[in-house]
């Protein structure tokens, strides 16, 4: 979640608000501005490194090394995918080696891909074949005991996740059997079913639709993106101070979980993700997609700032309201009211919080809708620093 500032505020108030690190109470609290960009600057602020240390068990030094390695791996992955062509079987970041691993169905492509700086693994199924198998599963209606499904490049399989207590029910067993007729399927378990993270109105939080509280995702020119389940198209939005803020111009849920809110005059947007005092507020500089295995952090109005890793992509999540497609799964925790909030990797926007299971006391997993899909759907331009 980030702060959106009324136009009536002075420039000084804006600059101070960019560095906010505490829950707002209706007036801006002075704090240092976000760290400036610099070619010689470290990979991340001390606060971000501390967050990675807390949530991933890394020392600050190791966290900084990892962020640099992930940035390099992201660049290598793009080139490796083109080089692999039809033999591309997916990719992921390996924290142990701090390198991108590229799966290939054709061993003859290994030397060329390794020359780019990637490690390789020979697999049976191409990414395209796995995506087709997953797309066939998307045409099925899943029972509540099925939490979702996604392509896992490390397993070279479509993974169907079932709720542990429901695994042996006839409906779940029948779904899994049907799924296996569509391609390679592996079954995994989740402790509970996923749910969305909207919450009732709580004073002092970022925005409200009716009696629902959610979190802002990312500024775009003219407004912001957030989760679709937070409000329907045409719904009015109130800001953190309770004043009229904007309107949902587009919203999709289920099927997708994204929305675009246009803001009224009197408000403007800034390319910032709130660090809630855990770290300095983060400037958003782009939306390059982080690979599976990379570290990622989330900002939300309930549980503030938390980090984890990317666990999977293109997953279908089966909420009680219906299935949502093309989601990214993470190990980051979240709770009610965090819906719509920002997922960011370094200074690159990743997506908006949708839902998950668990909480930030005992742990859990969350899914987000990738931001680039939302930008493309509504023809939006991300507001970047």
Which residues does the annotation mark as catalytic? Answer: 229, 257, 339
CA dist 264 and 97 (Å) reads 48
Sign for the CA dihedral angle at 284, 287, 292, 298 comes to positive
CB 145 within 8 A of CB 162: yes
CA dist 76 and 178 (Å) reads 37
What burial class does residue 141 get, using C-beta atoms within 10 Å of its C-beta: 0-12 exposed, 13-18 middle, 19+ buried? exposed
Neighbours of 108 (CB within 10 A): 8
Residues 6+ apart with CB under 8 A from 210: 231, 235
Q: What is the CA radius of gyration of the chain?
A: 21
């Amino acid at each position: 979640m980030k702060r959106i500032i009324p136009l009536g505020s002075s420039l000084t108030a804006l600059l101070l608000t960019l560095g906010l690190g505490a829950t707002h109470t209706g007036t801006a609290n002075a704090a240092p501005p976000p760290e400036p960009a610099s070619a010689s600057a470290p990979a991340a602020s001390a606060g971000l490194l501390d967050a990675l240390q807390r949530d991933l068990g890394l020392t600050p030094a190791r966290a900084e090394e990892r962020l640099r390695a992930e940035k390099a791996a992201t660049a290598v992955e793009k080139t490796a995918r083109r080089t692999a062509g039809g033999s591309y079987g997916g990719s992921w970041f390996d924290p142990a080696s701090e390198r991108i691993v590229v799966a290939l169905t054709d061993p003859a492509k290994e030397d060329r891909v390794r020359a780019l700086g990637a490690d390789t693994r020979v697999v049976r199924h191409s990414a395209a074949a796995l995506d087709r198998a997953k797309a066939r599963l998307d045409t099925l209606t899943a029972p509540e005991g099925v939490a979702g499904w996604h392509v896992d490049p490390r397993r070279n399989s479509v993974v169907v996740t079932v709720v542990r207590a429901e695994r042996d029910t006839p409906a779940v067993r029948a779904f899994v059997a049907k799924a296996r007729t569509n391609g390679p399927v592996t079954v995994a378990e989740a402790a509970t079913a996923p749910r969305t993270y909207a919450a009732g109105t709580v004073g002092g939080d970022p925005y409200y639709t009716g009696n629902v509280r959610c979190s802002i995702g990312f500024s775009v020119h003219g407004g912001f993106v957030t989760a679709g389940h937070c409000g329907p198209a045409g719904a009015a939005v109130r800001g953190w101070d309770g004043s009229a803020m904007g309107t949902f111009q587009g919203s999709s849920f289920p099927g997708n979980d994204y929305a675009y809110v246009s803001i009224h005059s009197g408000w403007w947007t800034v390319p910032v993700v709130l660090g809630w005092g855990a770290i300095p507020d983060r400037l958003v500089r782009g939306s390059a997609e982080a690979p599976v295995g990379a570290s990622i952090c989330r900002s939300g109005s309930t549980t503030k700032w938390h980090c984890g890793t990317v666990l999977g992509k293109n997953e279908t999540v089966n909420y009680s309201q219906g299935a949502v497609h093309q989601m990214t799964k993470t190990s980051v925790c979240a709770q009610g009211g965090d819906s719509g909030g920002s997922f960011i990797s370094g200074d690159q926007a990743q997506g908006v919080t949708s839902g998950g299971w668990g909480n930030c006391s005992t742990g859990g997993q969350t899914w987000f809708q990738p931001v680039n899909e939302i930008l493309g759907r509504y023809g939006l331009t991300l507001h970047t620093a």
